[in-house]
A and B are shown apart, each in its own frame.
Chain A
Amino acid sequence: MAILQATHDQDDRELVRHVDLDTARKEALAGRKHAEAHPTMYTAHEYKGYRWGMAVDVDACIGCQACVVACHAENNVAIVGKAEAAYGRQISWLRIERWAEGPADHPHNGFLPMFCQHCEVAPCEPVCPVFAAYHTEEGLNGQVYNRCVGTRYCGNNCPYHVRKFNWFNYTWTAPLDVQLNPDVTVRQLGVMEKCTMCVQRIEGAKSAAREAGRSVRDGDMQTACQQTCPTRAITFGNRKDGDSLVSRLSHSARSYHVLHELGTLPGVSYLKKVVRAEPAGGHGKAGH
């Protein structure tokens, strides 16, 4: 087995968080207490049309990895092979992390689907010398493969390390090549790639909505991972629309941002795992 995860100890970084049932009930009744305020010197992005975002319910995730497979299939994500993957060169845009707490022989596991967080203040964007990484008008962190020179500065600066580099020229052996998604570019050697929130599906939905003379409605399209998730842990939608499911979820009392203290303001919200009681052992730290 190629083990992709360096450690299952999250080193008090509160990547996957949990809340006990009673607190969760109380908080759900009280509603969301406050928005996270981040002082900034810069003007905020303006979104005229949509602002895409996602919500991931950590409580619902069972760690089955179906979303990872779906993402590979939808987005022509290369398979790098066992040795390369074990060395930290896997290209999967989406990964399922398992974080363990409590006693080592019987840990409490939390599964965290991690992919590009489409940060509002994205550390990857300003460091790209050629604008290959840029902020789209709809809140995505765009990545222009054809413009990428491969300095990998964005990959270093991304605190989530969800940006993946094409270390070699990866190919699809027959008959896998006929399975490639024609809507998605096959990336070449030397460029950076990452989750696009299935931008090809977004464009498809926008196009269909335009034909119908309306704007994209909640539920018009699903991302590949969302579509595949058996427990509906993943939700995609327009965060500008306050009634969309993704907006409601990201404003729920359970929602949090991974590494929120860095001020990257991710476009992906996570919902804390609900546990019956505090897990026994040292690391038990209920989220805020």
Chain B
Amino acid sequence: MSAPPAQSTTAPAQATWADVNRDVIRTIGMPREKYFAWLCLVALVLAAGASAWAWQIWVGIGAAGKRTPVMWAMYITTFVFWIGIGHAGTLISAVLYLFRARWRTSIYRGAEAMTVFAVMTAGLFPLIHAGRMWFAYWLMPYPNQRYLWPNFKSPLVWDVFAISTYLTISVVFFIVGLVPDIAALRDNATGYKRKIYAVLSLGWEGSDQQWRHYRRGYGLLASLATPLVLSVHSVVSFDFAMALVPGWHSTLFPPFFVDGAIFSGFAMVLVLILPMRALFNWYPYITDKHLDAMAKLILVTSLVLTYFYVCEVFTAWYSGDHFERASVFAKASQQYAWAYWGMYFCNCLVPLVLFIRRARTNAVTLYVISIFVLIGMWLERFNIIVPGLAHDFYPYTWGTYYPTITDSAIIVGSFAWFFLLFLGFIRVMPSLSIVEVKEVLPHPLKHAASHGGHH
């Protein structure tokens, strides 16, 4: 990734409305061999993961390395990880929209797609995790002859509602945001593609009335999605906070999880956006200013996370509770110490590099830091779940969880599933919002003489 020309304004001065149409629409269509090579690789990994899951369903959860007392392990770790990834997308698309942060325009489409796909990936894990996944639908409240309801006291049932709400709102928000862009695609397409895009664009003509309705609807959906940024991961954190396990039973968890979610989500946005910027030559749209803004958010959330880590250890010590203290001590010093210190390194130390101004706009540095953040955030969830359970109240059962090929393949497969969805998306839908990027460009008539950059 070569460094782009320095940009200091939200929108590049040289891009025009026609450029936007051209630059976005050329990303769609028949891709080259390299794309298919990647697609095949990802599909193969996914197939390995799917076979591992089939095997696990056939022989039982024992195929994964779980045991007493570590009855939850990498599946729930990765579930929380993916749910967290989704949050940055909603933050960018909904919260920043309501705050009129204009820099969001060129990254929000990618981020929103990331949200939808991340939730679709996360949603698989409760199924993969359940001992009898064929009965997982019992967690839904549905009318049945036996008058059996789920247990509304159980945080797992809250999860079902939180995740399904999140998926529904994210998908609707995503699709609504796409409508004007799909109409632009329709106008450029021919043959059967035109017909498909025509259906998906819901008869969009771009009339004033349609725009008025669209804007209102979009604003309402943004307002609906905003509370989800806070609520969904809070509910996910209740899986732990409501339990008795030392290291889980903490009122700290909801804000701690939400912050971590946004932190890891922005890292994932960068991991996806930076290659797209280089491959599609989108330097005029995703400028240094965007990278700088995202890097700052990563830095801030990292600092807040460090504060939570300190709080976590402090409360364990200050509580005087023998179990809590032993749990923290075991995490830091026993068989999982590598994960514990690795987490601090990735989440607290590495992002400090972003205090350097040049690092915030250097694509390679940002990419490396983002990868570290993603590893660190996966380790954070691992640290809560596995070492927490491995060393809890009862010394008789303390023990180490060893991953197997089956659960590792499923975890890697989940990443393949996510990237397969994303790869598919960037070739059939505009991954840069045509409409919203145009909004922040200088108006062709009003600013004809000006050099752009101010609106």
> Residues of A at under 8 Å CB distance from B?
4-7, 9-13, 15, 84, 87-90, 95, 97, 114, 123, 126-131, 147-153, 155-157, 159-161, 164-169, 189-192, 259, 262
Contacts and interface: CB of A to CB of B under 8 A. Distances in A.
B440 to A, nearest CB: 46
Contact of B69 (A148, A155, A192): A155
Interface string B379-421: 0000000000100111111110010000000000000000000
Contacts of A123: 243-244
Contacts of B153: 126-127
Contacts of B199: none
Contacts of B244: 123, 157, 159, 262
Given A130-B139, A149-B132, A165 B399 contact: no
A151 B131 contact: yes
B303 interface: no
Contacts of A4: 396
A88 B139 contact: no
B397 A88 contact: yes
The 9 closest A-B pairs by CB, nearest first: A150-B131, A167-B62, A190-B131, A88-B67, A152-B71, A159-B393, A190-B132, A129-B156, A6-B398
Given A164-B68, A168-B59, A151 B393 contact: no
A169 B60 CA distance: 7
A87 B71 CA distance: 12
Contacts of A160: 393-394
B61 interface: yes
Nearest to B64: A167
A161 B244 CA distance: 12
Interface of B: 59-62, 66-72, 126, 129-133, 135-136, 138-139, 148-151, 153-157, 160, 239, 242-245, 322, 326, 389, 392-399, 402
A169 B61 CA distance: 10
A150 B131 CA distance: 4
Nearest to B397: A161
Given A129-B150, A189-B60, A89 B395 contact: no
Nearest to A88: B67
Contact of B395 (A13, A147, A166): A13
B68 A130 contact: no
A95 B394 CA distance: 13
Nearest to A91: B68
Contact of A128 (B129, B130, B151): B151
A7 B395 contact: yes
B245 A157 contact: yes
B68 A148 contact: no
Contacts of B70: 88
A159 B131 contact: no
Nearest to A114: B396
Nearest to A153: B156
A124 to B, nearest CB: 10
A170 to B, nearest CB: 9
Given A130-B150, A131-B151, A152-B72, A167 B395 contact: no
Contacts of A164: 68
B60 A167 contact: yes
16 contacts: A13-B394, A15-B395, A88-B70, A89-B67, A126-B154, A130-B148, A149-B130, A150-B61, A150-B133, A151-B131, A152-B71, A159-B392, A160-B393, A161-B392, A164-B68, A165-B66
